[in-house]
Structure 1
């Protein structure tokens, strides 16, 4: 049994140490203009990133390297981009009754230091363009005639990406729609025809279902909160001898299997109710203060880790899970609120996204709870539980510091913990299998002795 314990602790500690030691890599800077499209029901918004050096060269407008862009300069930059940004009805849509060009409105001009595809940081101007088609035009088929910067900087590149599409459920799954470049032979910039044909309610629901699954699968903080709540599930809290007031409770007894399953079931349901409520409210427009919410999530993980070491609220886990579920649901809702959905699309997206979250939570519980119940009946469980809780607490502290404005390497390491979670789950199952085999072997030996 001690050998099994050493194996588990070695995997946990070595993995965490490797993540802490990991550092970012640097590369040569090759800045490009990037247009990221978010397709809504009635219009398209474009998040624009333009390299400052190239923009100044092409426009002649003075742009501050950092700080707020003066109002006059912001208006000039917006006008410059609008002058070089035309959207027209694609040839494939000429059969429709719609005529004319789309309206292009550029705003939110600011400066930022950005990084593209690991190329390194560089100064850039960011802006948001809203593209509104004329009445009767097909929102999903159009031609981009864009030559900002390109008309003066022949080496410039413009990459057009689709970041989200409410009709197909594509969210946070950026894919390329093409590139706009200058033909150095003819000196012309060819327009880019964009065809987003397809898209249905079923595709949107499926896409949001998969997005909900990935939010838990890739959301390390949400995973750790749920996993940490599972750690004491197979145990019962008991007071130390002579402490009638129950002030010195410890995890001292193993709970019956049915009770452990019932406890984690009610806790998971309570967490679901909590986050489903605020997820719906956030998607409907409830303001969500992102930084406080993210900090509160880190606090929830820290409290759950402390509870796994020593009972803070024994028997009241469902209530605490519901309260913290309200906080986690606010974080989930930002994905839907940014898509600006309404009507049937909002209902289907909300249903699919929430269902995806629940399915992945169920998978996590089914993967982790059975081996924990087995290991809880062995002497190895106490140091295993304590070590896992301490690692989780360290990660939570790193997140909390980072989310209140104090960057720390612990935050980066904590973000990477999700990549080792499958190995931890596999280790738990192997250890549990060894325990069961050992128990079966001892029982067989006892039977042979008795029969002899």
Structure 2
């Protein structure tokens, strides 16, 4: 019991000290450019998490700070000359979790128009701006991906959509970056490595996870299923709590105690949801509590839980797959290339997670050979407690935004 108490205190300490963390989504922003001859209107929509990068840690910058930052880095140009900004900059109402800024530019002519966005690349090199360009005179519409390597794009009648011309390898790279920039996905994969004592066990759990997220990624992007994004973010965090808790339960051999604590906490959250508190539905929380209790009890009583975890990680993969799909849904992929781009993105996700798993596994094996690794019980206790604390923090903050 003393060991269980120490681990719970450590997890709660990590939860209390955790700062805001990036969700599974990529660093991104959205721009809508409306061209009326030589006059151009721009509406920038930016997630709050991106805006907060511009202020001191733990604070949200003022609109004036954000406006000055954007005005210096986002603009159209005509004939090689930057178009002047026509004040004032307006701040229209935005959906919760976003900020919106409306700019007006007066170009000297409508010839040789280009748009440039350099915002956030100095803070997050992997940032992507999804630009929509509408020419009111001709009715032409184009979508463009603005990245660090392509910060300026040409605007012309009948311009081809960047999504239509994006290469297969670009979507492979985007899938890989989704893993490398998604802290919650990387945390979950760390939990899979911790729980796997043998290479065969690791193959089982990664296979189940891959099958699950590949299935729901395809279903979501093709429109068969459209989940609530706010629910998925919280459930992704819950999977991190569960994989960390299973590691703890296996180490201390008290799955019933861990199952009771987590299952009971979710049941209390369900009661609070029935009372109108929080964003998650009460039935979803109640079902999560029942699943959590059953899962931890079963995994703690199986002599060889490797095969059982294939099914569990498949369920977890279904949840993460919807998270992977969120970016692709926002991009409005061209239907004629949907299958190709979906395969490319999914391959990138697989390459990314395989690289991460192999890197962590290789590091552990190397440290063992050099006899620099801490005993497995200590390593698992610390890492699993960290995952539980971090996952709880994310789950609570995403359930009660």
| TM-score normalised by the chain length of structure 1 | 0.48
Judged with a 3 Å threshold, the aligned counterparts in structure 2 of structure 1 residues 175 and 288 are, in CA distance, closer, same or farther, namely: farther
User: Which secondary structure state, in structure 2, belongs to the residue aligned with residue 338 of structure 1?
Assistant: helix
Judged with a 3 Å threshold, the aligned counterparts in structure 2 of structure 1 residues 225 and 22 are, in CA distance, closer, same or farther, namely: closer
| Aligned-pair Cα RMSD in Å | 4.9
Judged with a 3 Å threshold, the aligned counterparts in structure 2 of structure 1 residues 23 and 360 are, in CA distance, closer, same or farther, namely: closer
Judged with a 3 Å threshold, the aligned counterparts in structure 2 of structure 1 residues 303 and 113 are, in CA distance, closer, same or farther, namely: closer
Judged with a 3 Å threshold, the aligned counterparts in structure 2 of structure 1 residues 402 and 123 are, in CA distance, closer, same or farther, namely: farther
Partner of 2:378: 383
Count how many residue pairs are aligned between Structure 1 and Structure 2: 267
Tell whether the 8 Å contact from 1:169 to 1:203 is kept in structure 2 after alignment: no
**Superposed CA offset, 1:3-28 (max 9, x none):** xxxxxxxxxx9xx98x958799xxxx
- 1:214 paired with 2:177, answer yes
User: Which secondary structure state, in structure 1, belongs to the residue aligned with residue 195 of structure 2?
Assistant: coil
For residue 121 of structure 1, report the CA deviation from its aligned partner: 2.1
Larger Rg: 1
Which of 48, 58, 62 does residue 121 from structure 1 map onto?
A: 62
User: Which secondary structure state, in structure 2, belongs to the residue aligned with residue 395 of structure 1?
Assistant: helix
User: Which secondary structure state, in structure 2, belongs to the residue aligned with residue 303 of structure 1?
Assistant: helix
Which piece of structure 1 moves more, 263-272 or 319-328? 263-272
Partner of 2:314: 322
State the distance in 2 between where 1:23 and 1:321 align. 26
Partner of 1:443: none
State the distance in 1 between where 2:17 and 2:146 align. 30
User: Which secondary structure state, in structure 1, belongs to the residue aligned with residue 382 of structure 2?
Assistant: helix
- 1:292 paired with 2:231, answer yes
Judged with a 3 Å threshold, the aligned counterparts in structure 2 of structure 1 residues 326 and 288 are, in CA distance, closer, same or farther, namely: same
Partner of 2:136: none
**Superposed CA offset, 1:316-356 (max 9, x none):** 11111100100000010011111111333211211111000
- 1:194 paired with 2:155, answer yes
Partner of 2:5: none
Larger strand proportion, structure 1 or 2? 1
User: Which secondary structure state, in structure 2, belongs to the residue aligned with residue 349 of structure 1?
Assistant: helix
State the distance in 1 between where 2:220 and 2:205 align. 23
Please give the residue correspondences for 1:239-388 in structure 2 after superposition, counting only pairs within 5 Å.
260-285=198-223, 286-311=225-250, 312=296, 313=299, 314-315=305-306, 316-372=308-364, 375=368, 380-388=375-383
- 1:150 paired with 2:125, answer no
| TM-score normalised by the chain length of structure 2 | 0.54
Tell whether the 8 Å contact from 1:169 to 1:205 is kept in structure 2 after alignment: no
Tell whether the 8 Å contact from 2:18 to 2:390 is kept in structure 1 after alignment: no
Tell whether the 8 Å contact from 2:191 to 2:240 is kept in structure 1 after alignment: yes
State the distance in 1 between where 2:351 and 2:206 align. 12
Unaligned runs of 5+ in 2: 1-9, 22-28, 56-60, 68-77, 90-102, 106-114, 118-127, 133-141, 251-295, 300-304
Judged with a 3 Å threshold, the aligned counterparts in structure 2 of structure 1 residues 296 and 23 are, in CA distance, closer, same or farther, namely: closer
Partner of 1:185: none
State the distance in 2 between where 1:217 and 1:290 align. 20
Judged with a 3 Å threshold, the aligned counterparts in structure 2 of structure 1 residues 200 and 401 are, in CA distance, closer, same or farther, namely: closer
Partner of 1:448: none
State the distance in 1 between where 2:87 and 2:160 align. 30
For residue 220 of structure 1, report the CA deviation from its aligned partner: 0.8
**Superposed CA offset, 1:120-140 (max 9, x none):** 22289x9xxxxxxxxxxxxxx
Larger helix proportion, structure 1 or 2? 2
Unaligned runs of 5+ in 1: 1-12, 25-34, 38-44, 47-81, 89-100, 127-141, 179-192, 235-259, 407-452
Judged with a 3 Å threshold, the aligned counterparts in structure 2 of structure 1 residues 169 and 214 are, in CA distance, closer, same or farther, namely: farther
> Using CA pairs below 8 Å that are at least 6 residues apart, which structure has the higher relative contact order?
2
